[in-house]
Homo-oligomer: A and B are copies of this chain.
């Protein structure tokens, strides 16, 4: 299958690498800069690369658009004439409610668009950090839209399996955005806040164990991408921050009241939930 990856950053590049050895796919790259296309070609990630949509899109049976959320809609609208009739388009964006109606309105009617979220981001950015390993066993989310053909959904599921993704889950846009606000966005709020709180603390590195390193790994955050993701999901994210803060406050209260039994109850609860996952 002739497959175009649009945007060869950490996600697009990793997907291209995940398909590299697979004879079912011939991978093309559409990039913003010449140098990225050249790098991808020389690394064997793609068999053809260009910065010109008209050289890549008309051939592609599957187009995997790996752009930031705010760039998605204009890319699809401006290139509507270049997509091959009958092609399946897909995205990899981390928020869905805002994007789904925009894209459905912008896409050419003869193409099906499948909304996905491969949960394989990394704190590094750019093609040089792309790696097929990050896809292995990672969760893959599909947000079916009205009008999606079953064959298109099946094609995207096959792609996810071929890349080595683990669990594949179908969700509504609301389920997706609420869930992601909790698991992914709140985790980034926590990491950023913890590292910013370390500003005036001494010897943090010498005093760090795996727990601190595990939380703060993602604090070297891609500011442009994550500002878009947070702003596009702010109501849910604010709700999740409030949920989290209420739980922090329970621990704080037990400490203020010198209540070790109350602390243990909260610890037992988290251990129980964690161990059932």
A65 within 8 Å of B (CB atoms): no
A158 within 8 Å of B (CB atoms): no
> Which B residues touch A202, using CB under 8 A?
175, 179
Number of interface residues of A (CB under 8 A): 89
> Which B residues touch A167, using CB under 8 A?
205-206
Contact of A196 among B201, B206, B266 (CB under 8 A): B266
A209 within 8 Å of B (CB atoms): yes
A275 within 8 Å of B (CB atoms): yes
> Which B residues touch A194, using CB under 8 A?
186-187, 190, 244, 247
Give the complex CA separation of A96 and B212 in angstroms: 20
In the complex, are the beta carbons of B211 and A218 less than 8 A apart? yes
Contact of A221 among B214, B227, B267 (CB under 8 A): B267
> Which B residues touch A171, using CB under 8 A?
203
Give the complex CA separation of A218 and B275 in angstroms: 11
Which residue, A202, A205, A270, has most C-beta atoms of chain B within 10 A?
A: A270
Residue of B with least CB distance to A166? B206
- Knowing A169-B203, A211-B191, A277-B205, the reply to whether A267 touches B223 (Cβ < 8 A) is yes
Copies of the chain in the assembly? 2
In the complex, are the beta carbons of A197 and B275 less than 8 A apart? no
Q: Is the interface of A mostly helix, strand, loop or mixed?
A: helix
> Which B residues touch A226, using CB under 8 A?
263, 267
Stretch at the interface among A37-45, A144-152, A252-260: A252-260
Give the complex CA separation of A219 and B269 in angstroms: 9
A251 within 8 Å of B (CB atoms): yes
> Which B residues touch A195, using CB under 8 A?
270, 273-274
Nearest CB of B to A188, in Å:
6
In the complex, are the beta carbons of B255 and A198 less than 8 A apart? no
Residue of B with least CB distance to A268? B223
A26 within 8 Å of B (CB atoms): no
In the complex, are the beta carbons of B219 and A271 less than 8 A apart? yes
Give the complex CA separation of A125 and B121 in angstroms: 32
Q: Which 5 A-B residue pairings sit nearest by Cβ, starting from the closest?
A: A193-B247, A223-B267, A187-B211, A179-B207, A119-B209
